[in-house]
Amino acid sequence: MVMMPKPDPDVLAKRDYLITRLKEIVRNPEGVIDQEAGLRAFECDGLSAYRQLPMIAVLPETKQEISEILKFCAAEGVNVVPRGAGTSLSGGALPLADGVLLGLGKFNRILEVDYDNRCAVVQPGVTNLAITDAVKSDGFYYAPDPSSQIACTIGGNIAENSGGVHCLKYGLTTNNVLGVEMVTMDGDIIQLGGKHLDAEGYDLMGVVTGSEGLLGVITEVTVRLLKSPQFVTAQLIGFPSSEQAGDCVGKIIGAGIIPAGMEMMDKYAIHAAEEFCHAGYPLDVEALLIVELDGPEVEIAHNNSVIEAVAKACGATVIRQSTSDEERMTFWAGRKAAFPAVGRISPDYMCMDGTIPRSQLPTVLKRMNELSAHYGLRVANVFHAGDGNLHPLILFDANVPGELEKCEQFGADILKLCVEVGGVLTGEHGVGVEKRDLMGEMFSEDDLKQQQRLKCAFDPDGRLNPGKVFPILHRCAELGKMHVHNGELPFPDIPRF
């Protein structure tokens, strides 16, 4: 298990004082939670293997309150953990024993829908799906669609730079956000971006997106709205091997087609999903692709015929095209239920999230099978095939002593493997607590320090969400120093070219 920073006894000692003062700042008398029963609701996020009661939970209702809370916490030396809906799969919203949990659930209003500029201004606690729901009757939608979209909030999406099944064509959160308003740890409220494009100086919005709540607290988000496509269809394509499926994905893209979504499931995931929701998946294949296309009908017909030819040439044994929206939704139902489906056949499972160069898929699957045998734990794979984002689900039983640790070790080995083949530790779930101690696999000490210098520019005392993302927390003063040898700057031979 990853260790969290040791609670500060001085902060714990003044808990009553902090509660009194926070109750003065937050107008709503129920906005400060200090009783265990109430705090229990915040003890974990989607990574439920890690639990911790926060010292105090605060639910502000205005950005001015957030500003005052942060200013107060900064002055008192108290850490703050921001939280949206708490759906993080990496422990990004895991509370701290000596920290204030800042819940943004009350910021749940859509402030403006602006079709002239094809954007919406929303508060951070609005759920991802609620944005699309608000505009779909006018034929618009918000593109990023993480699988938790019914519950996860747009503020959390900014923190994690959330993806979804449609990223290959439509991008991640970072590519679909025009502006954010945020409060810094000093209590300053700043606007980054807006309804226009591109940053005027450094792209601070770009680095805030995906910063896992370490740089500021988001209070408003301007998202890009897209017109809903005219038609959407899906194809199910089954293959006798995952190599052939992987090959087919490359060839579809090679043919100049960027599908709206392109998902792959391995045999284990196919069977679990089929048993769970009877999507009509073929059970005699080793790998299954779901390829979704959107656009005008003529384009879909054209691209579907290209894809069919490519799939056949790659050895597909099953090709089935959805003939109605209902059938398309059935195709997806199995994939979308893959996690609970796997959950049903195993007491516990852990969902991993690495990205690999797609050509490495056969190697990675083979090595993963070897690891599975080594650890004696089964693994099912679902894969955002278009962009190489792999979600191995490791099956285990937390009631068996040592199995959770074994599972974590297996998971770490998978992620190290992803990095080894040229990929990354996390494609969309974030580093959080879960992958924090693996950061050294991907970054040198100097690179990690350089990232933390960015943190220092926003939050020099490290009050926002400490213990997440970075394995070792350096003090900013120490990070600011130039490295100096023998009291002098390095003085090599002067190069002349």
Partner 1 sequence: MEKFDITAAAQVEEVLNWALANKQSLEVVGGGSKSDLGHEMQTGGRLSLKGLTGIDLYEPAELVMQAKAGTRLVDIEAHLAEHNQQLAFNPPDFGPLLGKEAGLSTLGGVFACNLSGSSRIKAGAARDHLLGVNGFTGRGQAFHTGSRVMKNVTGYDLCKLIAGSYGTLAVCTDFTFKVLPKPEKMRTILIYGQEANAAVLTLRDAMSSVHEVTATAYLPANIARKAGIDFVSDQDAAVTAVLIDGAAPSVEFRNTALREMFADSGAIEELHGMRSNAFWSFVANAGAFVADQSTAVWRLSVPPSEAAAYLFRLQQQLTELEYYLDWAGGLIWLSVPASIKDAGAEIIRSELKDKGHATLIRAAADIRNAVPVFQPQNPVVQKISEKIREGFDPQRILNPGRMYPVA
Q: Which of residues 32-91 bind partner 1 (CB under 8 A)?
A: none
Least separation in angstroms between CB 215 and partner 1: 8
Determine the Cα–Cα distance for residues 468 and 472; give it in Å rounded to an integer: 10
Residue 109 or 227: the one with the smaller Cβ distance to partner 1 is 227
Of 321 and 452, CB closest to partner 1: 452
420 touches partner 1 by CB under 8 A: no
Residue 28 tokens, joined = 């709503």
Q: Which residues in the 303-322 window bind partner 1 by CB under 8 A? A: 303
To which H or E segment does residue 156 belong? helix 154-160
**Residues 369-398 within binding reach of partner 1 (CB under 8 A):** 384, 387-389
Choose between 98 and 181: whose C-beta lies nearer to partner 1: 181
Footprint on residues 168-207 left by partner 1 (CB under 8 A): 168, 171-172, 174-175, 184, 188, 190-192, 194-207
Site for partner 1 in 213-252 (CB under 8 A): 227-230, 250-251
Is the Cβ of residue 280 or residue 480 nearer to partner 1 in the bound state?
A: 480
Of residues 258 through 297, those in contact with partner 1 by CB under 8 A are: 258, 295-296
Nearer to partner 1, 328 or 436 (CB): 436
17 in contact with partner 1 (CB under 8 A): no
List the one residue from 254, 401, 402, 487 that touches partner 1 (CB under 8 A): 254
Residue 394 pairs in a beta bridge with: 350, 379
* Residue 163 interacts with partner 1 (CB under 8 A): yes or no: yes
Count of CB atoms situated within 10 Å of the CB of 72: 18
Strand partners, 119: 114, 224
Query: Where do runs of H (alpha helix) occur along 337-481?
Result: 338-345, 361-375, 403-420, 439-442, 445-458, 476-480
Contacts of 106 (CB under 8 A, 6+ apart): 31, 59, 60, 61, 125
3-state SS class at 115: coil
Rg (CA), the chain: 24
Residue 68 or 160 having the CB closest to partner 1 = 160
Strands 189-193 and 177-183: antiparallel
Q: How far is the CB of 91 from partner 1 (least distance, A)?
A: 14
Q: What is the DSSP letter of 377?
A: -
Question: Which of 25-33, 51-59, 98-106, 417-425 is the region at the interface with partner 1 (rule: CB under 8 A)?
Answer: 417-425
Interface segment toward partner 1; rule CB under 8 A; list 260-268, 333-341, 402-410, 443-451: 443-451
**Should residue 102 be labelled a site residue for partner 1 when binding is judged by CB under 8 A?**
no
Proportion of the chain in helix, strand, coil states, percent, rounded to 5: 40, 20, 40
Among 458, 463, 466, 467, binds partner 1 (CB under 8 A): 458
Q: How far is the CB of 321 from partner 1 (least distance, A)?
A: 17
Residue 16 in 3-state DSSP?
Answer: helix
Instruction: Please list, in sequence order, all residues whose beta carbon lies within 8 angstroms of the beta carbon of residue 429, skipping any fewer than 6 positions away.
Output: 88, 89, 90, 160, 351, 353
The single residue among 37, 323, 324, 483 that binds partner 1, judged by CB under 8 A, is: 483
Sole window of 62-70, 123-131, 164-172, 338-346 interacting with partner 1 (rule: CB under 8 A): 164-172
Minimum Å gap between C-beta 329 and partner 1 is: 20
Q: Would you list the DSSP string of 264-309?
A: EEEHHHHHHHHHHH-----SS-SEEEEEEEEE-HHHHHHHHHHHHH
Total number of residues that touch partner 1 (CB under 8 A): 105
Would you count residue 256 as binding partner 1 (CB under 8 A)? yes
Closest CA to 56 of 9, 19, 24, 104: 19
Applying CB under 8 A, the span of 142-150, 208-216, 284-292, 397-405 interacting with partner 1 comes to: 208-216
